[in-house]
Structure 1
Amino acid sequence: MDTIRTLKILSKWSMNQVIGKKRPLVAVIGITHYCNYYCPMCPFGDPNKEEQMQYAKEHDLTTEEWKKAFDKVADNCIWAIIEGGEPLSRKDIFELLEYLNNKKIPVTLITNGSLLHTIDLARLKSLISTICCSIDSIKKESYCKVRGVNEELYYRVMNNLKKLDEYDISRYINSVITKWNTEEFITQEYFDYIKNELNIHAVSMTFVQNRVGGPNLLPDRKSMEKVCESILDYSKHHSDPYIMIPRLYFEQILEHGRALFDECGVWKSMVVNADGTVSPCWKFDTPEYKLSLLEYDVDKIWSMPYWDEVKKCNECQVLGCVWYSSQKTDVIVESYIRGVISRLLSRY
């Protein structure tokens, strides 16, 4: 991380806050429309993969177009999160990561982990700050059900995670909690497994946010309460693996049946779609809420009146990333400090 660059951007961002300008601080980049998985809770879980791949070929930004977009990201954001679709499905992924690296932008790469065995992991390590693998379940049956894949991919991903350990790549796991995988969180075996078997020491979790018109994947209220109680108990007595989502998230769901926030904070993130458009979030993903990052500068995009509408949205009841971005500074700082302490303790 380039500390001077980061401090300059943070200073600029803070000044904008003082004068009432809302500007992004972190870039969330959907690098491609294509994904080789079939997750029912995800907009990229389309079962027609041939059609999805063709759409990606026609609508994904080219390598050079992404570089132009990254120039604007570098001027405004302290961090970039590269996701998809599945980012490792792009043949130019290393060239794009190299470009971001030369811009001194720290990168978190989010992947389903199924293609890690096909790439140069030593090179990947040199280009990113950390990798996040989406592992909703440690059990074959529920993993395959949540992700819509066969058992061969389950075993491949688990082996690929061990390769990350061999190359000592900084990593953590993300899990979406659905009605199909609650039990392993209630028994706490999920945490013990990723620590002892996969040598992974940090995990981020969120309950699934049902898609409009999609199937209901959320656990029933009683199961959600059991999950929350178990996670709170585990985090109270264990620092490894470090649970990245603050305890407040689970406490609020226990008390209120949902996570709470005063104002939606998605404006803090520059969500760039694979076609180069910027949209506030997946709920505001229609043409009237989109402007191309290639055609407009960040000030123009963030001065659009629809951001006032977006910040009043309160529909994401349990989506952890939206909840976290919408919290006050003290919650985020407290979580950061806990993470630093946990990482220090895990070394000894």
Structure 2
Amino acid sequence: MDKLAQSPVLAYIRILESCNAGCMMCKFARSKNKNVVTFDNFKKIVNDLVQIGVKEIRLTGGEPTIHKDIIPMIKYIKSLGLKTSLITNGLTLPLLAKQYEEAGLDKIICSLDSPYVEIHNELRGKDKMFENATLGLNLINQYNNASIYKIDISINTVISNKTFKSLLDFIPLLKKLGVNSWSLIQIKDNKDLELSAKEIIEYEGIANTLQKRLAETKIKLRTNCTNIFCKKINYDFDNICFYPLCVIYIDAINNTAIPCNCLIHRQNDLLLSKIIEKGIDKIWNEPKYVEKRIAFTKVATKTCIGCDPSNLFSNQNIINKLKITNNEDLREMILNEIR
């Protein structure tokens, strides 16, 4: 386990804070923050990540696609033999879809909260969000159908009181867009959009039907979606959350890193600072920091309720797969699950 703890497989890099949308559930909504990571610092971070065994880098923000160097960043990651992915609201997709294919992007994770234009655009706080996202994904799907090289298409959907009743209506749209995987995420940071106790019960019935219908398609549901609103997740694999062992989240703007994209809100003593000057590869493997990460895995299940990874690793089938003795096989399996 110690060796695994020293080798994250997936790295998130937040390359800017600004955003071109006004999403009702996001702290970066309409942010005009002008701070961005420079391309030189980005390359140094990526080089360090290679040294600690990272296999995939995921670009995030804010809205990462508005960074002026987004395409050179993707190309640089690919030049080092790593997989690359990005999270986007989809507004710029029609303009950049072809460039993503040419740069070698491996996966795009796009936000779609509703199969209905008006609802999605209202939640995302801007006109044309749904239209641009679906147009861009359609273009990528067309490129995928015409080429040996394919960009994996994944959708993130935030479950709110405005969206949960239309989840089953999503399936035809996901098929049309060539979606490979779908994540359902609990609403956060907006009390007005939270489900009532009665709505949660209704949602769980819809989720059960959804899982059965998706089983008949090629679309992978990445979350154990009936558990999303549970107050407590019961783990079976030594009560461990694997994210702090397998993931590193880098805030390149503030020169910090933390082992999980959610921990920054919950556990400040796991924060690494001045990563560019010190070198991620050196401080990530400091014995005290390794010890902290391993220790946190045992309390994360009581601290981080309702996150997407907790739902993923509460799935019994995945837990059974995790009981693999070969460390490299375990890393590969975890990467396939969390990406």
> Could you tell me which residue of structure 1 aligns to residue 225 of structure 2?
250
The one of 169, 190, 199 aligned to 2:170: 190
The one of 78, 91, 96 aligned to 1:119: 96
Rate the CA distance shift 1:15–1:284 in 2: closer, same or farther, 3 A.
Answer: closer
> Could you tell me which residue of structure 2 aligns to residue 16 of structure 1?
3
Instruction: In structure 2, give the amino acid aligned to 1:320.
Output: D
**CA offset at residue 257 of structure 1?**
4.3
The one of 179, 198, 207 aligned to 1:222: 198
Give the distance between the partners of 1:300 and 1:326, measured in 2 at CA. 30
**CA offset at residue 132 of structure 1?**
1.3
Give the distance between the partners of 2:156 and 2:284, measured in 1 at CA. 30
Classify the secondary structure of the residue corresponding to 1:110: strand
> Could you tell me which residue of structure 1 aligns to residue 184 of structure 2?
205
Instruction: In structure 2, give the amino acid aligned to 1:178.
Output: S
User: Structure 1 stretches of 5 or more lacking a match?
Assistant: 1-13, 341-348
* 1:99 matched to 2:72: no
TM-score by length of 1: 0.75
Deviations 1:15-64 (A, max 9, x none): 614xxx5542211111211211222322312x4x33x2x2x2xxx22101
> Could you tell me which residue of structure 2 aligns to residue 156 of structure 1?
132
* 1:69 matched to 2:45: yes
> Could you tell me which residue of structure 2 aligns to residue 176 of structure 1?
158
* 1:166 matched to 2:153: no
> Could you tell me which residue of structure 1 aligns to residue 274 of structure 2?
292
Give the distance between the partners of 1:325 and 1:272, measured in 2 at CA. 22
Q: How does 1:32-43 map to 2 (within 5 A)?
A: 32-43=16-27
Deviates more, 1:157-166 or 1:123-132: 123-132
> Could you tell me which residue of structure 2 aligns to residue 231 of structure 1?
207
> Could you tell me which residue of structure 2 aligns to residue 141 of structure 1?
118
Identity level (%): 18
**CA offset at residue 114 of structure 1?**
0.6
User: Structure 2 stretches of 5 or more lacking a match?
Assistant: 145-150, 323-331
> Could you tell me which residue of structure 2 aligns to residue 346 of structure 1?
none
> Could you tell me which residue of structure 2 aligns to residue 320 of structure 1?
308
Classify the secondary structure of the residue corresponding to 1:119: helix
Give the distance between the partners of 1:330 and 1:153, measured in 2 at CA. 34
- Contact (CA 8 Å) 1:33, 1:274: kept in 2 or not? no
Rate the CA distance shift 1:40–1:163 in 2: closer, same or farther, 3 A.
Answer: same
Instruction: In structure 1, give the amino acid aligned to 2:306.
Output: V
The one of 278, 293, 296 aligned to 1:307: 293
- Contact (CA 8 Å) 1:27, 1:81: kept in 2 or not? yes
Give the distance between the partners of 1:111 and 1:69, measured in 2 at CA. 21
RMSD over equivalenced CA pairs, Å: 3.1
The one of 232, 250, 253 aligned to 1:272: 250
Rate the CA distance shift 1:310–1:287 in 2: closer, same or farther, 3 A.
Answer: closer
- Contact (CA 8 Å) 1:291, 1:301: kept in 2 or not? no
Classify the secondary structure of the residue corresponding to 2:58: strand
> Could you tell me which residue of structure 2 aligns to residue 86 of structure 1?
63
Rate the CA distance shift 1:61–1:286 in 2: closer, same or farther, 3 A.
Answer: farther
